[in-house]
Structure 1
């Protein structure tokens, strides 16, 4: 498959890979990796995390009952969404999973001051942007429809993420 490059990107592309592809790789690996770390803190206590039992207790205290179910759901969502982002695999689904989780985090932290909700907002903004731009050419999704046609797939990721968050908020 040959990529059509405009004059602005033609000179900087090497084997079809542009600076934008490298930037998307950095964003995916950075945000996805950190998201997976947060999930492993919740579930396993890795990276100075509290582990599942303490996280479940905190979730119950935040109104997510049963806490163990919602803590597990959040941790698995962060690990799954994060690793899919790192790989650039099923990127719209990864963005939706991460967005739904971050919208719930925003719901919990919104009354605690800017410093508390800012990280969830940054993650949410990043995954929405990645959902719309696609993963770039340096990804397992390279060449798939959602890598080339970001508007529809990005919108689908946002809708799915918002619906998932609303369902979680409704049943908690």
Structure 2
């Protein structure tokens, strides 16, 4: 008989690795991605500025958050950048196109938010580094804090273009 814990682990690893791959596209140009410069330009085209700063944050958040989720390590915190990135994608890119993905809508992003939220709220399951290391998180408090921070990060990305240290500004 299959154990639910095994299915939970397979789903967590799959979602985590997909996020990590998406981050690697942004950071390194792997898997057909555009790397930091391309991602920065794309973000700027959606009025998310400065593009270079947000490309770094988005790429690192998805890459590291995805790896942590895949490993089941610090799970309530691992999903923070994953949820934040998808909230921004929903609002800025996909919401105007409606729900359904065949029209460019936010269906897929919403599924990723729901799955990330599920693991953030309920934990990574038995087959995880959190479990192996005996790490426990105060639920639902840890996920509540994570969700609030994810929404705040998304709001900053969506409403505060143009601020950043000089290091991250695009060269004219």
Q: TM-score scaled by structure 2? A: 0.82
1:49-128 pair list within 5 angstroms: 49-108=33-92, 109-113=94-98, 114-115=100-101, 116=104, 117-128=106-117
Instruction: Give the count of matched residue pairs.
Output: 154
Supply the distance in 1 between the matched residues of 2:35 and 2:53 (Cα, whole angstroms). 13
**Of 127, 132, 147, the match for 1:138:** 127
Stretches of 4+ moved more than 6 A in 1? none
User: Which of 116, 129, 134 pairs up with 2:118?
Assistant: 129
Does 2:148 correspond to 1:159?
Answer: yes
Q: Which has the higher contact order (CA 8 A, sep 6+)?
A: 2
- C-alpha distance in 2 between matches for 1:163 and 1:145: 25
| Structure 1, unaligned runs of 5 or more | 1-11, 13-17
The structure with the larger Rg is: 1
Shift of 1:104: 0.8
What per-residue deviation string (whole Å, max 9, x for no partner) do you get for residues 16-69 of structure 1? xx8232122112111110001111111111111122212111110000111111
Distance 1:134 1:51 in 2: 31
Give the root-mean-square deviation of aligned CA atoms.
1.7
CA distance in 2, matches of 1:54, 1:130: 31
